[in-house]
Chain A
């Protein structure tokens, strides 16, 4: 199972774009990259998933370079309610190991 490394914490202000990068040097050929968001005392919530290049949905974009050894979650125009912990996971068959995650703090 691929290990992931993310910054422990990040600060931002409302309205800014936030980019959180995750490195996963030993990602396997079949692995997908999935990002989750977790608020205190709640289960993680799926944000976005990708395999290569760029994926965009209604809440975020995911950028994956050609070597797939890293990925960047981009949150456009964050609000106070985006304050949460963000986890990057790699895998394919469902058994996913959580790293430490990135604690994002959005300030007014």
Chain B
């Protein structure tokens, strides 16, 4: 089945630094990928839709200059958390859509990246 690889799985950084998270679709091409954020004991919150070759579409309340998304190829999307602060500490999860046998899109998720900002 479809596999999405996300890296790194854990990252700890100092306040003010930038962190890049990679999301790769390993065995299929994904023109669209999605980035989610999840706080402890809460549901996933959609941050943005990453479109190959064009600008990402951000959800309301998500700062596009804070969370830079680059979808340079059909198999790779990156999320860069710029000038990270402790409140950016969270679990970031990417996903890519693959067409199921029923004809609808099925999201395959990466394993997630735990960001801790000191």
- Chain A positions within 8 Å of B, measured between CB atoms, are 32, 34, 36, 41-46, 49-51, 87, 91-101
Q: Collect the chain A residues with CB atoms within 8 Å of residue B43's CB.
A: 87, 98-101
A45 B109 Cβ-Cβ under 8 A = yes
Q: Collect the chain A residues with CB atoms within 8 Å of residue B46's CB.
A: 95-98
A98 B44 Cβ-Cβ under 8 A = yes
B64 nearest CB across to chain A (Å): 17
A-B contact count (CB 8 A): 63
By secondary structure, the B interface counts as strand
Q: A98-B44, A100-B43, A101-B43 are in contact. Are A41 and B106 (CB under 8 A)?
A: no
Using an 8 Å CB-CB cutoff, how does the interface string of B20-52 with A read, 1 for contact, 0 for none?
000000000000101010000001111001000
Q: A51-B104, A98-B45 are in contact. Are A42 and B97 (CB under 8 A)?
A: no
- Chain B positions within 8 Å of A, measured between CB atoms, are 4, 6, 32, 34, 36, 43-46, 49, 91, 93, 95, 97, 100, 102, 104-112, 114
> Which chain B residue has the least Cβ–Cβ distance from A30?
B104
B34 A94 Cβ-Cβ under 8 A = yes
Q: Collect the chain A residues with CB atoms within 8 Å of residue B32's CB.
A: 94
> Which chain A residue has the least Cβ–Cβ distance from B112?
A43
21 contacts between A and B (CB under 8 A): A32-B102, A34-B104, A34-B106, A41-B91, A42-B111, A42-B112, A43-B95, A44-B95, A46-B106, A46-B107, A46-B108, A51-B102, A87-B43, A92-B105, A94-B34, A94-B107, A96-B46, A96-B107, A98-B44, A98-B46, A99-B43
